[in-house]
Amino acid sequence: MRIALFITCFNDTMFPRTGRAVTELLERLGHTVEFPQAQTCCGQMHFNTGYRPETLPMVRRFAEVFAGYDAVVAPSGSCAGMVRDHHRVVAAQYGDTALTEAVDQVAPTVYELSELLVDVLGVTDVGAYFPHRVTYHPTCHSLRMLRVGDRPLRLLRAVKGIDLVELPAADSCCGFGGTFALKNADVSNAMLADKMRHVLDTGAEYLCAGDNSCLTHIGGGLSRLRTGVGTMHLAEILASTEGDTR
């Protein structure tokens, strides 16, 4: 099976460790991962902020770069959702039928990490070891766009040593929302405050999620308040093994 890693622009520059974790994890499970160097961005920020013409080149590039793989894995629910749900909308809006067809070919091969592991590779116990108290925030786009359901939790429950605690009001948005956090900074902060309160209530050492954008927002607040609660992408916990000193 040919698996390509779509790292997403945000992870590429800010959290390459998440990309390395995805790679380590999949290689440990016996798969080969390819990284097309021509990849860039899914265009979500432009699309969700109303900049459609600027989104088009990114949609076109994605369809070209990731054509022909059996599976494309993205360690981000919202970027995977952007490709699967919205690339077609952009292609169709500009009346580009060739691009629409290309998008229709590639979009169904794009998976968020937990989907790839559970649905495509058929694994829930990835042989990870992470002896810490962890709570999981499901992130809105994983939950309500991709409908990943309890797949991430099934993967986490199978991690040895983990003390997984339920996050109260887990399905409430954290208040990030991309450019929302800038355009509506006050509301974003009000939502962040409640999310942090729920995280702190769990007594968790680490907050885990499948999207580093939400984690940057919540973790940024947790850090500013010096709560000592860390954030970790799902891939990083799943990549951890007994030999790690994390």
Contact residues: another protein, CB under 8 A: 2, 7, 9, 11-17, 19-20, 32, 34-35, 37-41, 43, 45-52, 54-55, 57-58, 61, 86, 140-141, 143-145, 171-173, 175-192, 216-217, 220-221, 223-224
Query: Does residue 112 sit in helix, strand or coil?
Result: strand
Question: Which residue lies nearer to another protein by CB, 35 or 161?
Answer: 35
Question: What minimum distance in Å lies between the beta carbon of 132 and another protein?
Answer: 20
Question: What minimum distance in Å lies between the beta carbon of 94 and another protein?
Answer: 12
Distance CA 246, CA 237 (A): 10
Question: Which residue lies nearer to another protein by CB, 89 or 165?
Answer: 89
Distance CA 105, CA 108 (A): 7
Question: Which residue lies nearer to another protein by CB, 152 or 162?
Answer: 152
Question: What minimum distance in Å lies between the beta carbon of 181 and another protein?
Answer: 6
Question: What minimum distance in Å lies between the beta carbon of 205 and another protein?
Answer: 18
Question: What minimum distance in Å lies between the beta carbon of 158 and another protein?
Answer: 26
Residue with tokens 């409640």: 194
Question: What minimum distance in Å lies between the beta carbon of 55 and another protein?
Answer: 8
Distance CA 22, CA 144 (A): 23
With b meaning 16 or more CB within 10 Å and e meaning fewer, what string describes 211-244? bbbbbbbbbebbeeeeeebbbbbbbbbbbbbeee
Question: Which residue lies nearer to another protein by CB, 9 or 71?
Answer: 9
Continuous H helices in 132-228: 140, 151-157, 180-183, 185-202, 212-224
Question: Which residue lies nearer to another protein by CB, 92 or 125?
Answer: 92
CB atoms within 10 A of CB 55: 27
Question: Which residue lies nearer to another protein by CB, 40 or 124?
Answer: 40
Tell the burial category of 33 from Cβ atoms under 10 Å away from its Cβ (0-12, 13-18, 19+).
middle
CA-nearest of 211, 150, 206 to 176 is: 211
Distance CA 1, CA 34 (A): 11
